[in-house]
Structure 1
């Protein structure tokens, strides 16, 4: 077999080199992290090794692809319409604003809310390479939604984004006031979102309020069960003690990305 080309990609934070034939189909791939070359056809072994030789830095294992895990099988059989993984931060707001062109002609609080979700979402997505997964804008029955669901070694977190650019945020559980606006029971809603997510996933989900761009955050007393974090502090969640094994993280992510998981709440 000749004419093989090597195409580098990143899959869930891991680097892979795919070896493709002249027809564009994959014949093998090299996972740098596990130092394994997975062959789809044994008779292509020598050609694949020759194509990958410039990229190999040490001993490798060569063999057929490993059997897919239950989480991988669930992902492969998930219909695209039911897959929430492609959701962008603030997906629901993006859709709503696109359907309402008139929002450009007037002040619209949805634009500030969208900016907060995009800012917080970007901070959470940055954890992807450290064994974490983030799902955005998960719809719940009744019109509610989980802004962001973070799943990783330290567990699961329901994260609600709050726009507070250059404003003071006052937290008096369950009320949260931003600037001169009237206080709202955001912590009660956030706990309810986390409880619904925990019920859907049959796993503990801890609530986090992520404040985007505040000038100051004042907390009158430590809120019950809720973490209050600035956007730049979200990376600290990755340093919490490990609770879940990689297989458990993948299984929970596979369940959470399936829209059908959330319909029965």
Structure 2
């Protein structure tokens, strides 16, 4: 026996197999998804490969850990309080409802809950694109009390997505006005474009606005839209078909900048 043992762990949703000495210190780890064995010391290379043998699922690259990219270094040095990546869809509304819940005898549902349901539905769809190399940030607070509902970053570029609750209602879009059911029209497309422009300024990259009605029974657009798209929430996965705009390293670099709260302090 070589005195080594293998300990499986999960980190950031990824499985890693750590090789440890009898004193508990790690000397290597196997990243199954990257098909790479990272050695902290070449002295016990053969012992590490021997103990990992039953766990290897195919050819692997063996060597020292790769040098962190600038995006990885930015993420590792980001204080947790400044990191927007853990934000849940509708994070701002969730906090507001926790601090100021519905009155016990309210006759009508709190409109914040309808908005929250819409943002959660859109957020769930966008989070499902992660396997295709996309990254999503939710509920990004902007100066002045505004916020970006969802920022999608991936191979097809950057998208500023605004969720609109429209359960079983028709949506009429007369740019920039958006009317949902019998509610008065609101200039949502103007707000959406302003959010996308602010995101573009913060990230020095092109950001395209997308309006995402949730649960609408029909969407009518009176004229071609200017620099904006309207996609029902259940069709947002179609954004994943776009590609050829950003390389994986560029996606990670933009995500590292966008997840920093201070990036948005002066837009």
Q: Into which bin does the TM-score normalised by the smaller protein fall?
A: over 0.9
Q: Which of 114, 120, 123 is residue 122 of structure 2 equivalent to? A: 120
Q: Secondary structure, in 3 states, of the residue corresponding to 2:231? A: strand
Cα offset for 1:105? 4.1
Cα offset for 1:45? 2.8
Give distance in 2, aligned partners of 1:206 and 1:104: 41
Largest Rg, 1 or 2: 2
Q: Secondary structure, in 3 states, of the residue corresponding to 1:209? A: strand
Q: For residue 100 of structure 1, what is the aligned residue in structure 2?
A: 100
Q: For residue 181 of structure 2, what is the aligned residue in structure 1?
A: 179
When residues 16 and 173 of structure 1 are mapped into structure 2, their CA distance, relative to the original with a 3 A threshold, is same
In terms of mean alpha carbon deviation, does 35-44 or 83-92 score higher? Answer: 35-44
TM-score, normalization by structure 2? 0.92
In terms of mean alpha carbon deviation, does 24-33 or 81-90 score higher? Answer: 24-33
Q: For residue 19 of structure 1, what is the aligned residue in structure 2?
A: 18
TM-score, normalization by structure 1? 0.93
User: Where does structure 2 lack aligned partners over 5 or more consecutive residues?
Assistant: none
Cα offset for 1:242? 1.6
Give distance in 2, aligned partners of 1:69 and 1:105: 54
- Residue 48 (1) aligns with residue 48 (2): yes
Q: For residue 169 of structure 1, what is the aligned residue in structure 2?
A: 171
Question: How many pairs were matched up?
Answer: 263
The 8 Å contact of residues 89 and 137 in structure 1, kept in 2 or not, is answered as yes
When residues 235 and 102 of structure 1 are mapped into structure 2, their CA distance, relative to the original with a 3 A threshold, is closer
Q: For residue 3 of structure 2, what is the aligned residue in structure 1?
A: 2
Q: For residue 250 of structure 2, what is the aligned residue in structure 1?
A: 248
Q: Secondary structure, in 3 states, of the residue corresponding to 1:65? A: coil
Instruction: Summarize deviations over 1:132-181 as a string: whole Å, max 9, x none.
Output: 10000001000000000000011000000111111111111101011110
When residues 254 and 25 of structure 1 are mapped into structure 2, their CA distance, relative to the original with a 3 A threshold, is farther
Give distance in 2, aligned partners of 1:26 and 1:222: 59
Q: For residue 82 of structure 1, what is the aligned residue in structure 2?
A: 82
Q: For residue 136 of structure 2, what is the aligned residue in structure 1?
A: 134
Q: Secondary structure, in 3 states, of the residue corresponding to 1:161? A: strand
- Residue 143 (1) aligns with residue 142 (2): no
Q: For residue 73 of structure 1, what is the aligned residue in structure 2?
A: 73
Give distance in 2, aligned partners of 1:243 and 1:122: 24
Cα offset for 1:65? 0.3
The 8 Å contact of residues 133 and 152 in structure 1, kept in 2 or not, is answered as yes
The 8 Å contact of residues 2 and 47 in structure 1, kept in 2 or not, is answered as no
Give distance in 1, aligned partners of 2:255 and 2:103: 35
Aligned Cα root-mean-square deviation (Å): 1.9
Q: For residue 213 of structure 1, what is the aligned residue in structure 2?
A: 215
When residues 104 and 149 of structure 1 are mapped into structure 2, their CA distance, relative to the original with a 3 A threshold, is farther
Instruction: Summarize deviations over 1:102-157 as a string: whole Å, max 9, x none.
Output: 44542210001000000000000000111110000001000000000000011000
Cα offset for 1:254? 0.3
Cα offset for 1:4? 2.1
